[in-house]
Amino acid sequence: MDYARAQGTFVIGIDGGGTHTRVACVDLDGHYLSSASGGGGSPMHNDDAEVNVRATLARALEDADLDPAGAAGLVAGMAGFDRPSSPTEARYNRDVERFFEIDGMTCPGTVVNDAVIAHHGALSGHAGVIVVAGTGSMILAINERGDEIENGQFDHYAGAARHLVHDVVQRILTGESSPTDPLYSAAKAYFGVDDVHGLREVVLQRSSANRNDTKRSYGDFAPQVTALAEESPLADVALRALVARTAQGVRLLAPLVDTDPVPVACTGSLASDPSFLRRLDQALSSGTPRRMQLVSPRLHPLGGAALLALTLAGVDSNDTVLVALESALGICQGE
């Protein structure tokens, strides 16, 4: 660490999601120097995104006494940051880019959508498809030529944690769930109501509340839905509906990748849940002529950001570097 600090040979990887911002500093061999975790960094989901990102980045640098002038490269993957070919209007991009205008930092830096760092981390820079689902959702293919294509370019959206909960709540309100279903009871307890009438009133009240607060409050119930998926018919049908939309998005993108079978990795609090993964594996194994294979991510998104930052700094990301990043990521993810 002293050598890296003296020579200015470290890079910064940032994963800014709707729930957490994670920052890692690694040397040019991929070895861990420091890390920090803070509040959500997506302006799409967080009113205080800039404060969260800047504070988390500052803490990661300060904890290892790293001089910003010594950074050799920075890559940030940010939820809500639109890619050049995205069907949306890049409404947050300039705001997000300003998050990283740090005094004394002159290294090359780039900001990409968080699905891009997730893809590079999970598949080590190889072609394939990544499913991201947590606070937000995107399905992204990167082919052998490096082309990036997202499901939104096909006017498709699969849904994230809050959408799973919306489905559960709507099914309860329309009488599609038995009062004896364990998720029915869990939903009443979570929303602090005694019956369907009370749940309807809470939903109506939340419709006029702060949008970002409301999205998080619904999304926070998703882990209870997936935890009950094997014993609750309501949880199972809602999860399968979201998985079916996700599988459709993967099928739209798979023909753009030449690899056979097409590797499909998943990341995010919802997409990496075992209940989600089991159902997605079932959905992808039937009803399509193109072979697809679920694979475990080699690196989490933060590792993907660090990997891209090393590439930006001119480092050949060989297997030795990847192994070092795996170790560094394990430390960072444990925070």
- The CATH number for 107's domain is 3.30.420.40
Q: What percent of the chain has pLDDT over 70?
A: 92
Is residue 168 located within the same domain as residue 283? yes
What pLDDT sits at residue 6? 40
- Per-residue pLDDT at 334 exceeds 70: no
Report if residue 212 sits inside a domain.
yes
- Report the half-sphere exposure of 172 (CA within 13 A, side-chain side): 29
* More confident of the two residues 242 and 113: 242
Average pLDDT of the segment spanning 160-175: 97
Per mean pLDDT, which range of 105-114, 152-161, 295-304 is the poorest?
Answer: 105-114
Question: 251-296: per-residue pLDDT in tens?
Answer: 999 999 999 999 999 998 999 999 999 999 999 987 677 899 999 9
What pLDDT sits at residue 331? 59
Split into its structural domains, the chain has a count of 2
Is residue 310 located within the same domain as residue 258? no
Average pLDDT of the segment spanning 78-101: 70
Q: Which domain holds residue 324?
A: 2-114+301-333
Report if residue 95 sits inside a domain.
yes
Report if residue 131 sits inside a domain.
no
- Per-residue pLDDT at 48 exceeds 90: no
Is residue 250 located within the same domain as residue 317? no
Mean model confidence pLDDT for the chain: 89
Is residue 289 located within the same domain as residue 306? no
Name the band, by pLDDT with cuts 50, 70 and 90, for residue 99.
confident
Write the CA distances from 217 to 139, 164, 196, 202, 287, integer angstroms. Answer: 24, 12, 18, 12, 35
Name the band, by pLDDT with cuts 50, 70 and 90, for residue 218.
very high
Query: Angle 233-253/161-173 helices, nearest 10 degrees?
Result: 140
* More confident of the two residues 5 and 325: 325
Is residue 10 located within the same domain as residue 108? yes
Average pLDDT of the segment spanning 8-24: 88
What pLDDT sits at residue 92? 66
Average pLDDT of the segment spanning 146-169: 95
Two tokens, residue 141: 């293919």
Is residue 233 located within the same domain as residue 319? no
Report if residue 149 sits inside a domain.
no
Is residue 192 located within the same domain as residue 91? no
Is residue 106 located within the same domain as residue 198? no
Report if residue 154 sits inside a domain.
no
CA–CA dist 249, 131 (Å, integer): 9
Is residue 110 located within the same domain as residue 184? no
Is residue 320 located within the same domain as residue 284? no
Any residues with CB less than 8 A from the CB of 251 and at least 6 apart, and which?
A: 284, 288, 290, 292
Is residue 258 located within the same domain as residue 175? yes
Can you list the alpha helix ranges (DSSP code H) found in the chain?
2-7, 49-63, 93-98, 114-123, 161-173, 182-191, 196-206, 211-219, 222-227, 233-253, 274-284, 301-312, 319-333
Report if residue 76 sits inside a domain.
yes
Write the CA distances from 271 to 8, 78, 139, 264, integer angstroms. Answer: 37, 18, 11, 11
Report if residue 282 sits inside a domain.
yes
Report if residue 125 sits inside a domain.
no
Is residue 182 located within the same domain as residue 256? yes
